[in-house]
Structure 1
Amino acid sequence: MIQAILFDLDGTLLDRDASIKHFITKQYDRLSSKLNKITKNQYISKFIELDCRGYVWKDKVYQSIVSEFELQTISWQELLDDYETEFIHSCIPFINLLETLDILTREGYLLGIITNGLGSFQRRTIQGLGIDKYFQTILISEIEKVRKPEREIFLRALRNLGVTPDKSVFIGDHPDTDVMGAKRIGMKSIWKRDLEWQEPENADGIIDDLGELPMMIQRFS
């Protein structure tokens, strides 16, 4: 019987693509007087290109933007500071996030998050989504000094919850980091479909909408 449900954050709970587009548009508007060498469309498209869906650190992204556009009126550090401070106001959840967490909580499941990323930034993202209260454990790779898909970060989260792998499910959007990472320690895993990735062969389930989760997990039990 399933006792615990753990989630990835970016691309699973947070609609990161929509959040980034919202943030970078607002950042340009805030700082446009210092970005007058770049049009808004140029700025948005260049950031998204360099960001590589979050797989490039933002210091590198902003250093590249400042260098490529030969900006003299703002530094990459100012842009990075703005990102770290203001992104919390651009956190867009996937549809049915709060409703699904409400249902899973009422049904008595223990809930957790395992996410790769920087500790303070990911904490603010969770705060921006307004979901802190739902989770009994939150593991962030920078703080834990271990990253998905390494076994230890999954096992550590389960130890925090007092649950064995066979009684737990992990939901994530990355076929290897999330789906296979969890399966390697004996968890069930559900892929939240992301068209950027090839469908994993060994997922125990596939969802397009978080609202599908409660019924799917009941079938596991």
Structure 2
Amino acid sequence: MKGEAMRDRAVFFDLDDTLYDFGVCNQAAEEASVAYLREQLGYQGDRRAYHKSIYRYMDAIQERLGSDNLACHSRTLRNAMFLEEEGYSASPHAGRLEEIYWEVTFRYLAPEPGIIGLLKELKKAGVYVGIGTNLTAFPQYQKIARLGLSDLISQIIPSELAGFEKPSAGFFAYCAREADVDPRDCVFIGDNFLHDVTGSRALGMKGVLYAPDRRRMSEEVAEQVVREQIPVIRDYRDPMVLELLEIS
């Protein structure tokens, strides 16, 4: 361990759909991408068709290279595969589509209600606060900065740095080592039940599901939450959140 004594506790947050609304940003970015395709190449499809293709290629890359390979996150690669299948040239459009995606995403970023106040409380209490996220470093660092959270975060751990993707045990073990905390004294909060909750709990962390009312919980997840007594955060402004995190 880095220090002579381990930290007493640490709290990790997922980023996408946990600290901001990914759906809003993603839809706007995909709409801008389709507008570019129509203007530059005469593409006739709509956003939903484009979205399905982009995520189909993500799955194809994962199937070929494995679940812990970061290539699946490259929108340049996925756009290149999409363009080639549609009969267009990948260059220069694949790179430009990635640029457009992130330009628009950053423009639409807004922190989840109450998250800034909660992070300030955690910092005041001297709690190590980390971000654990599946993606490459550049866009995730940009998101944190543009959300105004940089001064409230101890460390950002993208899967590019950890060498593993959630829900791999290696990812959560890396987070615990970086925080210098026993996994049993670590809370991991995220919106994805499999990636964030199940993955962290498998290593002994306290997995907490972030499920705001605007997001419908599947029946399967709802049943697991009840059966396994999973803590759920509906609103970061709820004063009970600090008690749930054992901070108050």
- Which range, TM-score by smaller chain? 0.7 to 0.9
Deviation (angstroms), 1:27? 4.7
TM-score scaled to structure 1, two decimals? Answer: 0.80
Structure 2 residue 116 is matched with structure 1 residue 98: yes
Partner Cα separation in structure 2 for residue 88 and residue 121 of structure 1: 9
Change beyond 3 A, Cα 1:13–1:183? same
1:206 to 2:206 alignment:
no
Structure 2 stretches of 5 or more lacking a match? Answer: 1-7, 60-71
Q: Which residue number in structure 1 is paired with residue 69 of structure 2?
A: none
TM-score normalised by L of structure 2: 0.72
1:16 to 22, 31, 56: 22
Letter in 2 for 1:76: A
Q: Which amino acid aligns with 1:59?
A: T
Aligned to 2:10: 4
Q: Provide closer, same or farther for how the CA distance between residues 128 and 24 of structure 1 changes in structure 2, counting only shifts above 3 A.
A: farther
CA distance in 2, matches of 1:112, 1:148: 15
Q: Whole-Å Cα distance in 1 between the matches of residues 123 and 99 of structure 2?
A: 35
The corresponding residue for 1:44 is: 47
Change (3 A) 1:33 1:84: same
Which residue of the other structure, out of 202, 211, 216, is the alignment partner of 1:195?
216
* Offset at residue 77 of structure 1 (A): 2.6
| Displacement after TM superposition at 1:70 (Å) | 4.9
Instruction: Indicate if the aligned counterparts of 1:35 and 1:74 stay in contact, CA closer than 8 A.
Output: no
Look up the match of 2:241: 216
Match of 1:185 among 182, 185, 203: 203
Alpha-carbon RMSD: 3.1
Q: CA deviation at 1:190?
A: 0.7
What's the secondary structure of 1:211's corresponding residue? Answer: coil
Instruction: State whether residues 19 and 92 of structure 1, in contact with CA within 8 Å, keep that contact through their aligned partners in structure 2.
Output: no
Change (3 A) 1:219 1:175: closer
Distance across 2 between alignment mates of 1:78 and 1:9: 25
C-alpha displacement at 1:203, in angstroms? 5.3
Cα displacement string for residues 146-178 of structure 1 (whole angstroms, at most 9, x for unaligned residues): 222222322222222222222221101111211
| Structure 1 residue 115 displacement after superposition | 0.6
Partners of 1:167 and 1:175 in 2: CA distance:
20
The share of aligned pairs that are identical, in percent, is: 23
8 Å CA contact retained: 1:47, 1:61: no
Per-residue CA shift, 1:46-76, capped at 9, x if unaligned?
Answer: 3333344987642354235535665579622
Match of 2:161 in 1: 143
Decide whether the 8 Å contact of 2:137 with 2:160 is kept in 1.
yes
8 Å Cα contact 1:138/1:157 also seen in 2? no
Distance 1:101 1:70 in 2: 48
Q: Report whether the alignment pairs 1:63 with 2:80.
A: yes
SS at match of 1:210: coil
Q: Which moved more, 1:109-118 or 1:59-68?
A: 59-68
- In structure 1, runs of 5+ residues without a counterpart are none
What residue number does 1:155 align with?
173
Q: Give the drift of 1:83.
A: 2.5
Question: Is the 1:137–1:157 Cα contact (8 Å) retained in structure 2?
Answer: no
Query: Aligned equivalents of 2:54 and 2:147: distance in 1?
Result: 21
CA distance in 1 between counterparts of 2:165 and 2:85 reads 32
Q: Displacement, 1:79?
A: 1.3
- Distance, in Å, in 1 between the alignment partners of 2:35 and 2:148 is 25
